[in-house]
Chains A and B, each alone.
Chain A
Amino acid sequence: MTAALAGEVRVFADYAGDVREEADVAVVGSGPCGAVVAKELAEAGRRVVLLEEGPPFTPSDFVLDGAHSMARTMREGGLRATRGYVMPTLQAICLGGGSLVNSAICVRPPDFVFDAWCEDFELARTRGKDLAPHFDAVSDFLGIAPTPEDVQGPRNLLFRDGCRALGIASEPIPRNVRGCRGSGECFTGCRSRAKQSMDLSYVPAALRAGARVLTSVQVQGVRTQGARVLGVEGRVVAPFGGPASHRVRVDARVVVLSAGCMATPILLQRSGNLANRSGQVGRNLQFHPGVMMTGVFPERVRPEFGATQGYQSLAFLEQGFKLETFWAPPTALALRMPGMGDAFVRRLAELPRSATWDAILSCHRSLGTVRPRRGSGLDPVITWHFHPDDVPLLGRATAVLARIFEAAGAEKVLPGVHGLPDELPAREAAEALARRAWKATDVVSGSTHAFCTTRMHGDPRRGVVDESGRCHDLDNLYVADTGVFPRCTSVNPMLTAMALAHRTAAAIRDRA
C-alpha cells in the first residue's frame, strides 16, 4: 500500500497493510531535533517523511500519576538504568519525544563550552558566534523566554532569595512555554497546552509544509548501497511495547537519524555497523548526573504551584555544575524522603513545607558505551562509570545547595547521602558534605541528559559525524540528536541540540 496523504499524521489504527513511501528526506525520530529538521526541510520544499515509534498524546491521554505516566511515555516503562554505576535514565517514546514530558528548559551554553569543543575536537565552525543564528531561529519560533515571576511560586523564589543572600548569581530559567499557569505538570504533559512541545509546535509546522508523519513505526535498519543510504525500513508497532505488524519502507535521498543518543547508535549497529569506520559509534557516552537535595521550611511553601523548574544558577558552570529548582509529580518527589516506618511517614507529611533543588554535573571524564540489547528493538545496554576525578563534584555541588537552603531559611535539609544522618541543620549539612571523602555510590544519581555516542569530530578517524551532522563514512546519512555533541554541554541540552539540528537542516537544504 502506498500512502498518498500529504501533510497528515498516521497513527497505529490507520495502518491496514505494508507501507511504502518515497521522500527526499526521511527523518527518524520526532523529538526536538527530528522535528526541527522535518519542519525546516519541509518548508524548504523537500518531501519529508517523519517517522516516530511512539504515538501522539492528546490532553485526554495524559496521566497525572508519575509512575503510570512514565510507563506510557518512556522507553522500558521509564525504568531504564545504566550498568557499571547504576543510575536511572530516561528516553521518551511519543510524538514530540522528550519535549512532551520535560520541563521545557532552554539554556544556551556559555561560549567556553563551544570554544573547548572546537579546540579539543578539531572543529572550525562550532563556536558560539557560529551557532548564534541557529539558536536565535529556534528561540524565536518557540517563543523561549525567562519564566515569569508570577508563576514561579515560593519554592522557586526561595532559591532566588537564598542565592541573593549569598551573592550567588541566579536567574529565571528560559523555557519554551507560552502562557504557563504554574500547574507544575511539565513531566506528565502540559494540560494548559502552554509548553511548546514538538507535537504542538514544530510537528504541526512541518505538517503545514506538507511533511508526512508516520507514528507507531519502529525503524529497524538503514538500507545502503556503497557509500550511500537508500532509505530506512522497519515495522508498525502497537503503542506501549505491543507487537510488530506491517512492514514499512521509506526510500529517501537523505536520511537523518534523530532517534536519540541511545537509539541512534543502536540503529547504526543493527544496520551492519554503519558509519563506524572510526569505531566511535556507541562509545564516549557522557551524562549530566543529577543530585538532589530537599530542604524543609518552617511554613508551607505550596510546592505544587509554580513552574516545574523556574530558577537556576549558572555561577558554578566552570567549576563543573549547574544548580536549579525542581518539582515532579509527588509520587516521584516523595522518593527523596529518607527513613523507614513512622519517621518516613512524618517526613512525607513535610512535603508541603519542602522544596527540592538539584545540581547537574558536567562529568566529561566519566564515559560509557551503548550497545544493542538482545532482540530486535532499539533498547540499549548502557554501561557507564563515574570517573574518580568527577566524584568530588558531588560534594561541592551538594554543599552549595545546603548553603543556599540555609540562606533561604530552611530549618533542615535531607541530604540523601549514605553515611550522613537523614536530616541535618543546613549549615551542618553543608560542612559535612564539603569535607567528606565521597564515593559515587554515596548517592543515587539520575540523568536524562545523555550525549556523545555518535560524536562530532573534525578527524574522521576519531568521530562519527562532521560539523554539519553528516556521517564521515556516508554521503547522505546525517545524525541530529545529542549523540553528536563532542562533549557534554554543562547546561540542559535541548536548545543546543535543536540549534545543531537547525544547522544540519540548513546544510542538507543547501547541498541538495
Chain B
Amino acid sequence: MTPWTAAALLVVAGLALAAAARLWLGYPPAPGLRALARREAAFLDAAADAMFPPGGPLPSGRDARVAEGLDAYLRVVPARMRRLMRLLFALLEHATLVFPAPPPRGRRRFSSLARAQRAAVLEAWRTSDVFARRLVFTSLRALLVNAYVADRGVLSALGLAPYVVETPVAEADLLYPPLGMPRSAIRPTATTPPSDGRPLAPDAPRLFGPGAPAAPEPRP
C-alpha cells in the first residue's frame, strides 16, 4: 500500500466515522427505558413535543410521557412489528438530513430541530400527495396518539377515564385461571347474579381522575 492510498483510506474512514456519529451519536441518556434506544427515545420525545405542544387545553406530549408509554408498548408487541417500528423511527429521525426542514439549519436530525421546524416536517408528511408518505405519518401518529391518550392525565382532562364497573362472577370464571396460572389457581367461589343491565349514571365513579374511589391501576 502506498502512502497516498493509506492516506486516502484514512480520509474515507474518517468521513465514515463522522457520518456515523452524525447519524447515531450525541443523544441524551434515556434512563429507565427498557425497549427504546436513547436515539429512539429522543426522536419520540421530539415528535410528541411537536404533535402535542404545551399551552393547549390538554397536557403536553412531554407531560404525558409519550416516550415512556411507547417504551412499555414496544415491550409487548411481536418482534417483527418492533423491528418495523424502529425502522419507522430511524427513517423519520434521519430523513431531514436528506430532505431538510425549513431554515434555519434545517439539515439536522429531526430531534435536533426546533419545535416549529419539527411541526413543519410532520405536516409535510401528513399532507403529502404521495400515499406512502402519508402512511408513514399515519403510522407514527397512531403510535404517538395511543401513548398520549392512554396517559391518565390526558384521559382525565378529557373526562373519558373508564368507569368503575362491578364484575359478576360467572360460570366461566370458575373454568379459567388468570393468565399465566395453572388451573389449580382457580379459586373455588360461588357465582354471583349476572349484570342487571342498569345503565351507568353520568356521575358514576371512574377508575382514576377526580372522584376516583380507589388507587389507580398501574400502567401495563
Chain A residues close to B by CB (< 8 Å): 8-14, 55-61, 63-68, 71-72, 76-77, 79, 86, 95, 148, 150-151, 178-183, 185, 191-194, 199-200, 203-204, 207, 239-241, 300, 302-305, 330-332, 334-335, 337, 340-342, 344-346, 348-349, 351-352, 418, 441, 444
Given contacts A79-B81, A342-B56, A178 and B122 within 8 Å (CB-CB): no
B20 at the interface (CB under 8 A from A): no
B149 at the interface (CB under 8 A from A): yes
A residues near B170, Cβ cutoff 8 Å: 193, 200
Q: How far is the CB of A67 from chain B (nearest CB, A)?
A: 4
Beta-carbon contact of B176 and A341 below 8 Å? no
Other than the given A178-B195, A181-B165, A342-B53, 5 more pairs (CB < 8 A) read: A13-B183, A79-B81, A193-B194, A194-B194, A444-B135
A residues near B107, Cβ cutoff 8 Å: none
A residues near B165, Cβ cutoff 8 Å: 181, 183, 185, 191-192
How would you classify the secondary structure of chain B's contact residues: helix, strand, loop or mixed?
loop
Q: Which residue of chain A is the closest to B49 with respect to CB atoms?
A: A341
Closest 10 CB pairs of A and B: A179-B195, A56-B176, A13-B182, A345-B56, A77-B77, A441-B131, A67-B146, A179-B197, A349-B57, A192-B195
Beta-carbon contact of A61 and B179 below 8 Å? yes
Within 8 A of A (CB), among B32-50: 50
Given contacts A341-B119, A345-B53, A349-B57, A204 and B171 within 8 Å (CB-CB): yes
B210 at the interface (CB under 8 A from A): no
A-B contacts, 15 listed (Cβ < 8 Å): A14-B183, A59-B173, A60-B178, A68-B76, A71-B77, A72-B76, A150-B199, A182-B199, A192-B165, A194-B194, A194-B195, A199-B172, A341-B50, A341-B119, A348-B158
Number of interface residues of B (CB under 8 A): 68
B residues near A59, Cβ cutoff 8 Å: 167, 173
B126 at the interface (CB under 8 A from A): yes
Beta-carbon contact of B168 and A192 below 8 Å? yes
Q: How far is the CB of A436 from chain B (nearest CB, A)?
A: 15
Against A, the Cβ 8 Å flags (1 = close, 0 = not) of B54-83 are 011110000000000000110011111100
Most buried by B among A13, A59, A72, A192: A192
A residues near B196, Cβ cutoff 8 Å: 179
B residues near A352, Cβ cutoff 8 Å: 158-160
B residues near A340, Cβ cutoff 8 Å: 50-51, 119, 122-123, 126
